[in-house]
Structure 1
Amino acid sequence: MTDLLLDPWHLPFMQRAFAVSAIVGLVCGVVGVFVVLRGMAFIGDAVAHSAFPGVALAYALEGNLLLGGAAAGITTAVLIAFVSQNRRLKEDTVIGVFFAFAFGLGIVLVSTRDSWTTDLSSFLFGQVLAVGPEDVWTVAGLGAVVVSLVLLLRKELVAVTLDRETARAAGLPVFGLDLLLYVVVTTTIVMSLEAVGNILVLALLITPAATARLLTDRLGVMTLLASGIGCAGALGGLYVSYAYDLAAGGSVVVVLTALFALTWCVAPRHGLRARARRRPSRKPAFPADCPHDDVLPESWPRVGGRAVRRD
């Protein structure tokens, strides 16, 4: 067991993979809290897939895939934030429109190429074991900026999340905060693509925060728990991947989902066992005036000689 825990740390590529996974897990946990509280899981999926045409275009032009994905994702996020201000359209409707368009455009762009390469497949499925030293510093820098922004504006983001109209009446720049949150989510997703890939990145953003939501009702505690769960799940998934020679991105998602399932069962207040213990026992369904009042306790009140149920 000790060898299994220590062996990966002697390999330079595993050291880089652990560093990137830990940073990504922590950042996704912090940002995911606001995504879960606002019910924005759909936008996480939409932004992740909206990066696809940017990556496909960069691939066709032989450019940087991550930069192409970031440009497309941020552009889509800005458009969603702008169009969502129209009260005739709900936010999820606007997201659905741009999600479908972006993914369709990506498919069209990919169809212009005769073959796919390892670079494009690694964007879709993740290739955390192939990250270089510069990638670690890039992810660390982006992560520090994202977490700093979220923590600095957490009160304003919470206000908009809980009640947009009240926040607008209080003078908060709701549109600006929406735009900031969309850009932060997009940046977080793009920096996570190498760890788990475009297809699985939503799990890294949502699952740690959802797990923490089952454990606490306090925002600060939930943020700390989500970042810890995201970091632990990412590292645990890499260990599973190393030990059993499995896909790293898929292993990370499976471990995170297992932690969520375990928490859902045993959470002290909101878990399955806790809810079962709190389930009230059913009272005997006697009618208000029971004709068989001789079977009722003598202590029950009686009206006109008949027993009356006492709730």
Structure 2
Amino acid sequence: MEWLTAPFEVTFVQRALWGGILVSAICALAGTWVVLRGMAFLGDAMSHGLLPGVALAALFGGNLLVGAVASAVVMTAGVTVLGRTPRISQDTGIGLLFVGMLSLGVIIVSRSQSFAVDLTGFLFGDVLAVREQDLFLLGVALLVALTVSVLGHRAFLALTFDPRKARTLGLRPRLAHAVLLALLGLAIVASFHIVGTLLVLGLLIAPPAAALPWAHSVRGVMLLAALVGMAATFGGLLLSWHLSTAAGATVAALAVSLFFLSHLASGLRHRRTSPATPALPKAD
């Protein structure tokens, strides 16, 4: 029992655990829609697109979170505008923004020799450096994400499962898509300083994907995804403490491992019961 509890008697590990729990909840709300709509590439592009804002904020001694928010706003607006351009496919627009923002960030970083540590933190995060004010900001971000998810749930459902019906019902699918992008940006901004941009997709995509075979509704996927993310956070911090590995990477790796275990168990379950192919969760 001491093996399980000893790491969490340390204050900074306790803060890391709470930070990971809050991030898991935020990522579950946004990541469920990312998985259901096949937006993983967009999530990856947006996470890397934060680099210019973060680099500029660090260069001028500003707040890194403010820089990340600015970049997220630019990426969201860019994806929205290019998505409405008939001659450019959405994937093409996302790819161009991805390369453009990442290149700009690298150019800014290359102008200074003092970015080595900051860039490493941006890419891989530092979950063990979570402060009390970070927990407060994550709590606010969770409240905002929860509010957006509740108010936009009907529109997001229609947009995901029947975009034509969304337009017919007057749910304004273009606005719903823009709000959904903003929700994704909020999750990425809230998570990048915890697990870094290279690992943020681990908590954004792996838990909802792991929950998908077991949940029967979108809300069920969100709830189960949050629990999977929290389990990955607890287990990742525990393993990191005892194995002396990078905490953020261990959390993300465990989340991905839980995804594979979930689908393996789901496959075995369906072999024993029926050959039916699992369907997407119903709209609720």
Alignment TM-score > 0.5, same fold: yes
**1:105 is aligned to 2:87:** no
**1:59 is aligned to 2:55:** no
Matched residues, number: 276
CA contact (8 A) 1:59 1:120 kept: no
Opposite residue 49 of structure 2, the aligned amino acid is: S
1:171 is matched with: 170
CA contact (8 A) 2:29 2:145 kept: no
Q: CA deviation at 1:4?
A: 2.1
Rounded to whole Å, the distance in 2 between the matches of 1:143 and 1:60 is 29
Superposed, 1:115-126 pairs within 5 Å as: 115-126=114-125
1:246 is matched with: 245
Runs (4+) off by over 3 Å: 275-280
SS in 2 for 1:129: helix
TM-score in terms of structure 2 length: 0.92
CA contact (8 A) 2:123 2:196 kept: yes
Q: CA deviation at 1:163?
A: 2.2
1:304 is matched with: none
Opposite residue 214 of structure 2, the aligned amino acid is: L
Opposite residue 49 of structure 1, the aligned amino acid is: H
1:275/1:53 CA distance change after superposition, 3 Å: farther
CA contact (8 A) 2:202 2:253 kept: no
Superposed, 1:74-153 pairs within 5 Å as: 74-153=73-152
Q: CA deviation at 1:277?
A: 6.8
**Residue deviations 1:233-282, cap 9 Å, x none?**
12211111112111011101111111111111111xxx2562487569xx
2:279 is matched with: none
1:181 is matched with: 180
Rounded to whole Å, the distance in 2 between the matches of 1:145 and 1:279 is 41
Opposite residue 89 of structure 2, the aligned amino acid is: K
**Residue deviations 1:28-52, cap 9 Å, x none?**
1121111111111111001101101
Rounded to whole Å, the distance in 1 between the matches of 2:164 and 2:90 is 15
Rounded to whole Å, the distance in 2 between the matches of 1:131 and 1:216 is 32
Aligned Cα RMSD in Å?
1.7
**Residue deviations 1:138-171, cap 9 Å, x none?**
1111111112211222111110111222211221
Rounded to whole Å, the distance in 2 between the matches of 1:152 and 1:230 is 24
1:292 is matched with: none
Name stretches of at least 5 consecutive residues in structure 2 with no aligned partner: 277-284
1:259 is matched with: 258
Which structure shows the higher helix fraction? 2
1:299 is matched with: none
Superposed, 1:160-309 pairs within 5 Å as: 160-267=159-266, 271-272=267-268, 274-275=270-271, 278=274
Rounded to whole Å, the distance in 2 between the matches of 1:279 and 1:143 is 39
1:288 is matched with: none
Rounded to whole Å, the distance in 2 between the matches of 1:28 and 1:231 is 11
CA contact (8 A) 2:26 2:141 kept: no
2:35 is matched with: 36
CA contact (8 A) 2:32 2:221 kept: yes
Q: CA deviation at 1:19?
A: 0.5
Rounded to whole Å, the distance in 1 between the matches of 2:227 and 2:89 is 33
Q: CA deviation at 1:116?
A: 2.2
Rounded to whole Å, the distance in 1 between the matches of 2:215 and 2:13 is 33
Name stretches of at least 5 consecutive residues in structure 1 with no aligned partner: 281-311
1:169/1:89 CA distance change after superposition, 3 Å: farther
Q: Indicate the percent of aligned positions where both proteins have the same amino acid.
A: 36
Q: CA deviation at 1:90?
A: 2.5
Rounded to whole Å, the distance in 1 between the matches of 2:226 and 2:81 is 30
Rounded to whole Å, the distance in 1 between the matches of 2:152 and 2:256 is 29
2:26 is matched with: 27
1:147/1:114 CA distance change after superposition, 3 Å: same
Q: CA deviation at 1:119?
A: 2.9
TM-score in terms of structure 1 length: 0.84
Q: CA deviation at 1:21?
A: 0.4
Rounded to whole Å, the distance in 1 between the matches of 2:54 and 2:78 is 18
**1:4 is aligned to 2:16:** no
